[in-house]
Amino acid sequence: MAAAVEISLPNGLKYSQPTGLFIGNEFVPATGEKFAVINPATNEEVITLPGASEADVDKAVAAARRAFEGEWSELAAVDRGSFLYKLSELIDRDRKLLASIDAFDNGKARHTYTDALEGDIDESYNVFKYYAGAADKITGRTIETSPAKLAYVLQEPLGVCGQIIPWNFPFMMLAWKVAPALACGNTVVLKPAEQTPLSALYFGKLVVEAGLPAGVVNIIPGIGSVSGKALAGHMDVDKIAFTGSTNTGRAIMKSAANNLKNITLECGGKSPSIVFEDADLDQAAKWCHSGIMYNQGQVCTSTSRIYVHEAVYDDFLKRFVEITKENARVGDPFSSETWQGPQVSQAQYDKILSYIEEGKSSGARLLHGGSKHGSKGLFIEPTVFADTTEDMKIIQEEIFGPVVAISKFSTEAEAIAKANDTSYGLAAALFTEKISKAHKVARKLQAGMVWINSSNDSHFGIPFGGYKSSGIGRELGQYALDAYTQSKAVHVNLGSRL
Ligand code: NAP
Ligand code: MG
């Protein structure tokens, strides 16, 4: 057995953190390279954890395969749903602890800790509940092909699903991936991000408590280029579901090609907001601000480019800077005063600061922020650039931090062309009080999700995913049931003619 570690969280909560790997309903030692878990608010190491080696990945996949072929496949769908419901209840019971673990490990502030109980963990609870109800409603169709023949379609699970998740919504990404996969009758091997392994390992305890058969859920923290790569290339894994950067998505697609795995990729974005001259500017500024600054700017759908009609450009900038100032309460994620916590890691912090320098040297007008915040921890000032141009790196590349690029446009066609002028296509927001314009422009935006007079909305019942280099496939809602099943057509001959 791998040893557990007692952790005291900054808000006084104490708990027993499992370590190692969760395989076959046990926490077992890992044999791969060690990695450090840091608290980004102090940039200090909390513990080091051993990561999964290739041999460990083999063990986890074998456990998932045994479970898939054993008891799990014999269960009625309604009983799979009951397990998911039980997990949702345990998540709800531990919501404060889970939210606190993610606040500690990731640096999540406001939306996940202070408002924690309405944030990521409640979403995760709802996701498990939603798929608990969905498990026994996965049906195929019956099609009569002639008076003497019919075919029926079975929606069957894919088998062993490898799931590789990022650090920006540690527990919620687990929920988005694990719940639909199990609802459909698959088993899973999940690799959490190196930066945020704690809540995923804790989830192993809930899996045991919920009484799931051994091997249905396996959790293998580790280094992406070792355990993630081994999982993506494993010949006995049937599907890979990934969320993270587009470059890693590409590498995973290549690794997954060996046995033609089913894949779902949810990758990066550089999502635009368009503010038309007839928008409610107070509302637009409010949504555009949270659209980029929420979660420290570490959101794949963050609206990091804002295009504002020239007639309201100066007015919008004034309001946007005011809201940024009001919410520039950067600091301790556990303080109720804090709006913005630290960035997740030194690497992300350095990368964001280098983009800020790049923005300054490329001639963008700095309206707010522009440097690190404080002397300890990985804090960065919310940074607002105006008068940006399409050739600038800060307009073209995903920064994944609290940095926004704002520029103006004159015509609707120009706004749409600029919004679509990127290799990404995850999301887009538009602000107007004209209903016909809103729907017309929504159709022209190359994005998997469009928000009208809002930003960053997602819901467990609504498909989530991107166009272009932002990904392949959709998560959540009924769409995830398609992503985690395959159809089998059974042809039935009722007559006697060939
Ligand atoms: P990343 O490298 O794409 O990491 C995402 C996940 O993939 C992690 O679990 C990672 O493991 C794993 N991974 C890394 N290399 C792999 C490989 N060769 N094969 C299989 N799995 C692999 O993202 P990151 O380095 O954490 O962040 C870099 C950038 O990604 C960010 O700046 C941001 O632009 C983007 N990002 C996007 C999202 C999103 O929601 N779309 C989320 C996070 C990051 P390790 O943790 O061990 O590396
Ligand atoms: Mg951490």
Identify the pLDDT of residue 2: 81
- Phi and psi angles of residue 462, each rounded to the nearest 5 degrees, phi first: -115, 135
240 and 259 Cβ atoms separated by less than 8 Å: no
36-91 pLDDT, tens digit per residue, is 999 999 999 999 999 999 999 999 999 999 999 999 988 999 999 999 999 999 99
Amino acid at 313: Y
Identify the pLDDT of residue 97: 94
189-209 pLDDT, tens digit per residue, is 999 999 999 999 999 999 999
- Phi and psi angles of residue 487, each rounded to the nearest 5 degrees, phi first: -100, 140
CB under 5 Å of ion ligand 2: residues: 38, 105, 195
Distance 248 CA to ligand 1 centre (A): 6
pLDDT at residue 168 greater than cutoff 90? yes
Identify the pLDDT of residue 119: 84
Is 5-267+471-488's fold the same as 272-459's?
no
- Name the residue with higher pLDDT: 373 or 117: 373
Concatenated DSSP letters of 167-195? SSSHHHHHHHHHHHHHHTT-EEEEE--TT
Distance 399 CA to ligand 2 centre (A): 19
Could you give the CA distance from residue 189 to residue 234 in angstroms, rounded to a whole number? 11
Q: Which stretch of DSSP H or E encloses residue 438? A: helix 435-444
Residue minimizing CA distance to atom 45 of ligand 1? 224
Identify the pLDDT of residue 115: 53
Could you give the CA distance from residue 448 to residue 382 in angstroms, rounded to a whole number? 27
433 catalytic, yes or no?
no
Q: Is 16 helix (H, G, I), strand (E, B) or coil?
A: strand
Could you give the CA distance from residue 115 to residue 494 in angstroms, rounded to a whole number? 60
- Across the strands, what pairs with 27? 22
Task: Write out the two tokens for 193.
Answer: 């991000």
Residue 215, C-beta contacts closer than 8 angstroms, at least 6 positions apart = 23, 24, 25, 63, 64, 65, 66, 67, 68, 70, 72, 187
Identify the pLDDT of residue 496: 80
- Across the strands, what pairs with 371? none
Q: Which of 101-115, 247-261, 438-452 has the lowest mean pLDDT?
A: 101-115
The angle that helices 95-106 and 198-210 make with each other, rounded to 10 degrees, is 160
Distance 221 CA to ligand 2 centre (A): 13
Closest CA to 42 of 278, 445, 346, 348: 346
98-139 pLDDT, tens digit per residue, is 999 999 999 998 655 555 546 899 999 999 999 999 999 999
Could you give the CA distance from residue 322 to residue 310 in angstroms, rounded to a whole number? 19
Concatenated DSSP letters of 280-306? -HHHHHHHHHHHHHGGGG--TT---EE
Ligand 1 atom showing the smallest separation from residue 251 Cα:
18
Its sign, for the CA torsion 475, 479, 480, 482, is negative
pTM, 2 dp: 0.97
Distance 223 CA to ligand 2 centre (A): 14
Please compute Rg for the chain using Cα positions: 23
Please tell me what DSSP assigns to residue 256.
T
Task: Express as a percent the part of the chain with pLDDT over 90.
Answer: 95
Q: Which CATH architecture has domain 272-459?
A: 3-Layer(aba) Sandwich (3.40)
Task: Write out the two tokens for 307.
Answer: 């295009």
Could you give the CA distance from residue 102 to residue 138 in angstroms, rounded to a whole number? 33
Identify the pLDDT of residue 111: 55
For the CA of 249, the nearest ligand: 1
What ranges do the domains of the chain cover? 5-267+471-488, 272-459
Residue minimizing CA distance to atom 22 of ligand 1? 224
Ligand 1 atom showing the smallest separation from residue 51 Cα:
47
105 and 194 Cβ atoms separated by less than 8 Å: no
Identify the pLDDT of residue 116: 52
Ligand 1 atom showing the smallest separation from residue 255 Cα:
19
Please tell me what DSSP assigns to residue 216.
S
Amino acid at 394: I
The catalytically annotated residue of 266, 381, 398, 475 is 266
CATH 3.40.605.10 fits 5-267+471-488, yes or no: yes
Query: How many CA within 13 A on the CB side of residue 455?
Result: 30
SS3 of the chain: helix, strand, coil, percent, to 5: 40, 25, 35
Its sign, for the CA torsion 381, 402, 113, 111, is positive
Query: What is the torsion angle, in degrees rounded to the nearest 10, for the CA atoms of residue 415, residue 420, residue 424 and residue 425?
Result: 90
Between CA 154 and CA 52, with CA 263 as vertex, the angle to 5 degrees is 115
Q: Is 437 helix (H, G, I), strand (E, B) or coil?
A: helix
259-268 pLDDT, tens digit per residue, is 999 999 999 9
pLDDT at residue 473 greater than cutoff 90? yes
Which of the four pLDDT bands, split at 50, 70 and 90, describes residue 310? very high
Which of the four pLDDT bands, split at 50, 70 and 90, describes residue 497? confident
